[in-house]
Amino acid sequence: MTDSPDASTVAAPPKVPAVNRRAKRPPRNEGVVGAAYAGIGDFFTFAWDVVRAVPRRPFQAREFLEQAWFIATVSILPTALVAIPFGAIIALQVGGLIQQLGAQSLSGGATVNGLVREVGPLATALLLAGAAGSAICADLGARTIREEIDALKVLGIDPIPRLVVPRVLGGALVGVALTGLVIGVSIAGGYVFNVILQGGTPGVYVDSFKSLATIPDVMSSLLKGVIFGALAALVGCFKGLRAGGGPRGVGQAVNEAVVVSFLLLFLVNFLITAVYFEIYPPGGG
């Protein structure tokens, strides 16, 4: 009968080094700042993909016309209604200040200059971001959570040239058209309030407008309309395609699209205005 081995002679099993699970996790951006940086990078990558997809053929002409008409229908009435009080406010404020300075002959030109340069494009941008951008985001967000976008990718169809490019180009087209509409309605409203409420002279109003408002002012305003319309649609598409979490996630994406559009449009408006004044100084130098 063999004696059982002594416990002291039995070799202890080798110790396995503890695994540092925290060190093996892939690095990730944490916090609000990291998420913001990641979102900005993703947005610029998405925008570059859209720019590269614009000349790609075949071009979705029918989708482009349908989206342009849809954006126009949801934006044209509120834009026209907002343009009237915008023109009236600018006319009253600028007209009152000009009267205090004793330069009534410049009231029309100063009013229209502000309307053409800033009020028209900004009013259009806000309405496009609030009405058209949110509608685009809700549409694409609903398709995303229903997995329609994934189905397109499975079929080999790229959603950017198929869905995004027509909406961005439609937003640009409607943006320039609505900017012209807002400028026209604002000028008419400013004329009525300046002549009727403030006792201005119609001929002086028109002459000062011709002397101060120039073709580059109008062209820069229309250029802003193109850029603002495209940006509003681009942000709506970006947020809609990244929506998740059911209907609640779509609603959150719509809110984020409107807020981001507002911030981005104001920033781009400042940059364009700064560059414009470098090229065409206010003093005409």
List the chain domain ranges: 75-279
Instruction: Report the pLDDT value the prediction gives residue 191, as an integer from 0 to 100.
Output: 73
The yes-or-no verdict on residue 20 having pLDDT over 50 is no
Residue 80: pLDDT band (50, 70, 90) is confident
The yes-or-no verdict on residue 12 having pLDDT over 80 is no
Residue 157: pLDDT band (50, 70, 90) is confident
Mean pLDDT of the chain: 77
Instruction: Report the pLDDT value the prediction gives residue 106, as an integer from 0 to 100.
Output: 63
199's CB contacts (< 8 A; 6+ apart) are: none
Write out the E strands in the chain.
Answer: none
Which one is predicted more confidently, 80 or 160? 160
- Centre a 10 Å sphere on the Cβ of residue 44 and count the other Cβ atoms it contains: 10
Instruction: Report the pLDDT value the prediction gives residue 82, as an integer from 0 to 100.
Output: 78
| pTM more than 0.75 | yes
Instruction: Report the pLDDT value the prediction gives residue 216, as an integer from 0 to 100.
Output: 78
For the segment 147-172, the average pLDDT, to the nearest whole number, is 89
The yes-or-no verdict on residue 168 having pLDDT over 60 is yes
Residue 57: pLDDT band (50, 70, 90) is confident
Side-chain half-sphere CA neighbours of 279 within 13 A:
9
Instruction: Report the pLDDT value the prediction gives residue 21, as an integer from 0 to 100.
Output: 40
Query: pLDDT tens digit string along 169-202?
Result: 999 999 888 888 888 877 777 777 777 766 667 6
In the chain, % of residues over pLDDT 90: 7
In the chain, % of residues over pLDDT 70: 72
Lowest mean pLDDT across 95-104, 108-117, 261-270: 95-104
Instruction: Report the pLDDT value the prediction gives residue 167, as an integer from 0 to 100.
Output: 92
Residue 231 structure tokens: 């940006």
Residue 195 structure tokens: 């002549």
Which one is predicted more confidently, 283 or 7? 283
Instruction: Report the pLDDT value the prediction gives residue 1, as an integer from 0 to 100.
Output: 47
Query: pLDDT tens digit string along 200-231?
Result: 676 766 776 666 667 777 788 888 889 988 99
Instruction: Report the pLDDT value the prediction gives residue 105, as an integer from 0 to 100.
Output: 60
How far is the CA of 17 from the CAs of 14, 21, 80, 156, in angstroms? 9, 12, 72, 48
Instruction: Report the pLDDT value the prediction gives residue 24, as an integer from 0 to 100.
Output: 41
Q: What would the DSSP string read from start to end of 212-269?
A: H--HHHHHHHHHHHHHHHHHHHHHHHHHHHT--SHHHHHHHHHHHHHHHHHHHHHHHH
Residue 235: pLDDT band (50, 70, 90) is very high
